[in-house]
Structure 1
Amino acid sequence: MILIGEYNNLKVSKKVDFGYYLEDEFGEEVLLPNSALNDKSVEEGDKLKVFVYRDSKDRIISTLKTPELTVGNIGHLEVVGQSPIGAFANFGLERDAFIPIKEQAFKLKVGKKYLFYMYLDKTDRLALTTRLDKYLETPEPDKFKVSDEVDAIIYDTCTNGTLNVAIDKKYRGLILGNEHFEYIHPGEEVKVRVKKIYDDGTLGVTTRKKRLDEKDVLTEKILQHLRENGGFMAFNDKSSPEDIKKTFSTSKNYFKIALGGLMRQKLITQDKEGTRLL
Structure 2
Amino acid sequence: MISVGQYSKLKVSKKVDFGYYLEDNFGDEVLLPNSAAKGHEITEGDQLEVFIYRDSKDRMISTLKKPLLTVGEIGYLEVVSQNNIGAFVNFGLERDLFVPLKEQSYKLKEGKKYLFYMYVDKTDRLAATTRIHSYLDIAEEGKYKVSDEVNAIVYEINENATLNVAIDGEYRGLILANEHFEYIYPGQEIKGRVKRIYEDGTIGVTTRKKRLEARSELSETILNYLKANGGFMPYNDKSSPEDIKREFNTSKNYFKMTLGGLMREKLITQDKEGTRLL
Deviation at 1:225, TM superposition (A): 1.3
CA–CA distance in 1 between the matches of 2:45 and 2:231?
77
Q: Any conservation in 2 of the 1:233–1:275 contact (CA below 8 Å)?
A: yes
Q: Any conservation in 2 of the 1:38–1:65 contact (CA below 8 Å)?
A: no
Deviation at 1:3, TM superposition (A): 2.0
Deviation at 1:243, TM superposition (A): 0.5
Give me the CA root mean square deviation: 1.1
Deviation at 1:211, TM superposition (A): 1.2
Q: Any conservation in 2 of the 1:136–1:172 contact (CA below 8 Å)?
A: yes
What is the aligned partner in structure 1 of residue 94 from structure 2?
A: 94
Higher deviation after alignment, 147-156 or 7-16:
7-16
Deviation at 1:14, TM superposition (A): 1.3
CA–CA distance in 2 between the matches of 1:7 and 1:206?
38
After superposition, the Cα gap between the structure-2 partners of 1:36 and 1:254, relative to the gap in structure 1 and judged at 3 Å, is same
Deviation at 1:262, TM superposition (A): 1.4
What is the aligned partner in structure 1 of residue 207 from structure 2?
A: 207
Q: What is the TM-score when the length of structure 1 is the normalising length? A: 0.97
Deviation at 1:173, TM superposition (A): 0.8
CA–CA distance in 2 between the matches of 1:88 and 1:261?
52
CA–CA distance in 1 between the matches of 2:259 and 2:115?
40
Deviation at 1:254, TM superposition (A): 0.7
Higher deviation after alignment, 212-221 or 58-67:
212-221
Deviation at 1:242, TM superposition (A): 0.7
Instruction: String of CA shifts for 1:175-215, please: whole Å, max 9, x gaps.
Output: 11111111101000000111111111111111111111111
Instruction: String of CA shifts for 1:92-116, please: whole Å, max 9, x gaps.
Output: 1111111111111111122211111
Deviation at 1:38, TM superposition (A): 3.8
Q: Which sections of structure 1, spanning at least 5 residues, go unmatched?
A: none
What is the aligned partner in structure 1 of residue 244 from structure 2?
A: 244
What is the aligned partner in structure 2 of residue 177 from structure 1?
A: 177
What is the aligned partner in structure 1 of residue 70 from structure 2?
A: 70
Deviation at 1:235, TM superposition (A): 1.0
What is the aligned partner in structure 2 of residue 17 from structure 1?
A: 17
CA–CA distance in 2 between the matches of 1:244 and 1:183?
15
Deviation at 1:34, TM superposition (A): 0.4
Higher deviation after alignment, 212-221 or 148-157:
212-221
Higher deviation after alignment, 200-209 or 219-228:
219-228
Deviation at 1:83, TM superposition (A): 2.2
Q: Any conservation in 2 of the 1:13–1:23 contact (CA below 8 Å)?
A: yes
Higher deviation after alignment, 8-17 or 140-149:
8-17
Deviation at 1:260, TM superposition (A): 1.5
What is the aligned partner in structure 1 of residue 80 from structure 2?
A: 80
What is the aligned partner in structure 2 of residue 106 from structure 1?
A: 106
Aligned residue pair count = 278
Kindly provide the amino acid, as one letter, of the partner of residue 113 in structure 1: K
Instruction: String of CA shifts for 1:28-61, please: whole Å, max 9, x gaps.
Output: 2111100111422222222222111001100101
Instruction: String of CA shifts for 1:101-151, please: whole Å, max 9, x gaps.
Output: 111111112221111100000111110001111111101000011111101
CA–CA distance in 2 between the matches of 1:130 and 1:251?
32
Identity score, percent: 72
CA–CA distance in 2 between the matches of 1:55 and 1:62?
9
CA–CA distance in 2 between the matches of 1:267 and 1:49?
68
Q: Which sections of structure 2, spanning at least 5 residues, go unmatched?
A: none
CA–CA distance in 1 between the matches of 2:263 and 2:39?
66
Within a 5 Å distance, the mapping from 1:116-135 to structure 2 comes to 116-135=116-135
What is the aligned partner in structure 1 of residue 34 from structure 2?
A: 34
Deviation at 1:75, TM superposition (A): 0.7
